A and B are shown apart, each in its own frame.
Chain A
Amino acid sequence: DVKVTQSSRYLVKRTGEKVFLECVQDMDHENMFWYRQDPGLGLRLIYFSYDVKMKEKGDIPEGYSVSREKKERFSLILESASTNQTSMYLCASSLTTGPTDTQYFGPGTRLTVL
């Protein structure tokens, strides 16, 4: 069974802090994704990666960066956290990019920036 884990379920940070959100998957999936979920806005793609050391911008990359040094780990970095980055952050992975390869999501990290 695929498992996607995220380093924290809840996180509280101060404005201007550097924030790292870690995601690890245990099924050797090629693809990994970072989303944020906000009320009324649904799931918005921040960044994704189809291979180690590879990254692609999603729909809302501003204010974020990512790192994928190992296949199983995909990190989301908030260089200088701001209050409008308070959100639920969801990591996902999939085996390939085919439509039948569903994305498996982690439990999410609820980030609050004060």
Chain B
Amino acid sequence: DQQVKQNSPSLSVQEGRISILNCDYTNSMFDYFLWYKKYPAEGPTFLISISSIKDKNEDGRFTVFLNKSAKHLSLHIVPSQPGDSAVYFCAAFLSGNTPLVFGKGTRLSVIA
């Protein structure tokens, strides 16, 4: 059973507009969430994270929002740039000696 779900396999956005990538989770015990970005032929790289005690974390053009009651988080990219075109993975951390749980990813295409 998938604990972290990214229901949109792909998203296309125009350059300069906002990109919103969504992630839902089922386990209310997750206490930390991360977003990774992956370009083709490269390994994923860490982008931004949020603790479950917060509802927002911002880093430059990237903001992650967490709605614990809805078990939902989203990554906002404003403004979107062609270089943001990549696959974005949502990941959740349970606590203790457990590895991250990853979603299936969303492919973002930013069109110039």
Our verdict on whether A and B bind, yes or no, reads yes
For A, the interface residue count at a CB cutoff of 8 angstroms equals 27
Q: Are A99 and B89 in contact (CB under 8 A)?
A: no
Q: Is the CB–CB distance between B96 and A107 below 8 Å?
A: no
Q: Count residues of chain B with CB under 8 A from any CB of chain A.
A: 26
Q: How far is the CB of B51 from chain A (nearest CB, A)?
A: 8
**CB-contacts of B44-96 with A (<8 A):** 44-46, 49, 51, 89, 93, 95-96
CB of B34 within 8 Å of the partner chain = yes
* Chain A neighbourhood of B105, CB < 8 A: 42-43
Known contacts: A99-B49, A108-B42. The answer to whether A45 contacts B99 by CB under 8 A is yes
* CB-based contact B43/A99 at 8 Å: no
Tell me the minimal C-beta distance from A107 to chain B in angstroms: 5
B42 touches A100 (CB 8 A): no
Give per-residue flags for A46-74: 1 if the beta carbon is below 8 A from chain B beta carbons, else 0.
00101000000010000000000000000
List the 7 closest A-B pairs by CB distance, nearest first: A105-B43, A42-B104, A99-B32, A99-B93, A102-B46, A43-B102, A42-B105
Besides the known contacts A107-B41, A108-B41, 13 further A-B residue pairs in the complex with CB atoms under 8 A apart? A9-B41, A33-B99, A42-B103, A43-B105, A90-B44, A91-B43, A99-B32, A99-B93, A100-B49, A102-B34, A105-B36, A105-B43, A107-B43
Q: Residues on A close to B: CB < 8 A?
A: 4, 9, 33, 35, 40-45, 48, 50, 58, 90-92, 97, 99-100, 102-108, 110
Q: CB within 8 Å of A: which residues of B?
A: 6, 9, 31-32, 34, 36, 41-46, 49, 51, 89, 93, 95-100, 102-105
